[in-house]
Amino acid sequence: MKKSFLVLLALLPQVSCINVEEFGGCWEKTEMDKRLAGDWKRVPASPDQTREHGHGIGDVTHFIEKDGAYELPATAPDRPFYPVKTLKTGPYQFLVFGPHKGIIVRYKLDGGVLQPKSGS
C-alpha cells in the first residue's frame, strides 16, 4: 500500500530547512522512524502543485532501509540521499540527511501522509 508524500523532496528548498556542515554528536541521537519505510506517492499540498508546474505529483518515493538508515532515490540516480534518519526533539521530528554536510527538515506523519512542516 502506498502512502501519501506531500512533495517533500521537491519542497525542501521552499520549506524551513537548515543546512548543516557537520552533525557531530547529534547524528548519534538520530534513529530510524520505521513508519517511513516503504513507498510514498507524491500528492499536491495545494491546488497549484501539478505536474504541469514541475511538481512530481503521482511519482513514488521509496524509503529503502539500508544499514540502519534510509536511502532515498535522488533526481540523479547515481547519487541517492543516504543516510537519512530521524531526529526527535521534544514534540518535533526532523528528517536528517547526513551525517556530514547535509540538511535537516521538520516533518509530521498524520494518517499515512508525510508532511514537511515550516516555521515554528
Residues 35-46 pLDDT 10s: 999 998 888 888
Of 28-37, 41-50, 66-75, 100-109, the range with the highest mean pLDDT is: 28-37
pLDDT of residue 96: 92
- In which domain, by residue range, is 66 found? 3-116
For the chain, how many structural domains are there in total?
Answer: 1
Rounded Cα distance between 114 and 6, Å, is 6
Determine the length of the chain. 120
Q: Which pLDDT tens digit goes with each residue over 64-92?
A: 999 999 998 776 566 778 899 999 989 99
Q: How many C-beta neighbours within 10 Å does residue 35 have?
A: 13
Cα torsion 38, 6, 3, 68 to 10°: value is: 20
Q: For residue 92, list its beta bridge partners.
A: 89
